[in-house]
Structure 1
Amino acid sequence: AVPTIAHIEYGLAAGSYTKSSANSTQYWRSKTATISGLTAGTTYHLRIVAADSSNDWIKSLDYICTTTKTAAQHSVKLNWQASSSTGVTGYRVYRSTISGGYYALLASAAGLTYTDTPVQSGTTYYYVVSAINSTGQQSTYSNQTKAVIP
């Protein structure tokens, strides 16, 4: 017999299931399904329950899957005071993972703030800023500041 309708059941333990949706004919066509409301980083037991045109029901084996953990999105917001030099048209923001080390140009900014995103969890970043004038001359680096990403 060929299944004509089905639904998915899920739960935190084998044999303890909740029906995730109404019976549908779509599973046999798309072979995919979405279950909403699951908790990130949690292991679930799933099974498919299907019936043929005679209403004979059959249950699949228990399948185990773990939802992915939600990655925290971190950012670093930098603020600085305006340069006291005349003719400043913008700023360059530099970043390093080594204190006092080689700084790579991260961005150019017209204003006095910049948000560095995304940044890596478990990493310490060191930032410096320099002012730029209309002829492209760059000031020395500002004092270094540090951001520790949890």
Structure 2
Amino acid sequence: MITNISIVSVFVKDIDESKKFYTDVLGFEEKDDITLGDGYRWCTVVHPSQPELNVSLAVPGPPHPPELVEAMKRAQANGTMHGLGLNVDSCQRTYEELSARGVEFLQPPSERPYGVEAVCRDNSGNWLVLVEPREYTPSDFS
């Protein structure tokens, strides 16, 4: 029986630079950084409030087929890769803090039926959705 989600992957352009971004800018902590056989690098970060969920920072490559790797690299270059959804306690305050640290926002904090949402990019072009959640019902969307 499945008990929880333990690993999610975010494809990045450069593991070292992305590890710095996720730790220094977003407040994650490094968990693993191991080079395995054939030069494969296993690098994970975790958020201090959710250490059981590992975020694997991986450069597109094998075992993915070359055409998929190229498509992922094009999406990164265009800034259109999907990344993570992150809950925040104050979307406006987090927006201001991250903007001051140079994070590029695609959408400032905006009211939504499910809370306040802002959208930014990490340093590899992945979208990060920041949500200050609130209770909602399906009728809130009509």
TM bucket by the smaller chain? Answer: under 0.3
**If each structure's strand is expressed as a fraction of its own residues, which one has the higher value?**
1
TM-score (norm: length of structure 2): 0.24
Which of the pair is proportionally richer in helix? 2
CA radius of gyration, larger in: 1
TM-score under structure 1 length normalisation: 0.23
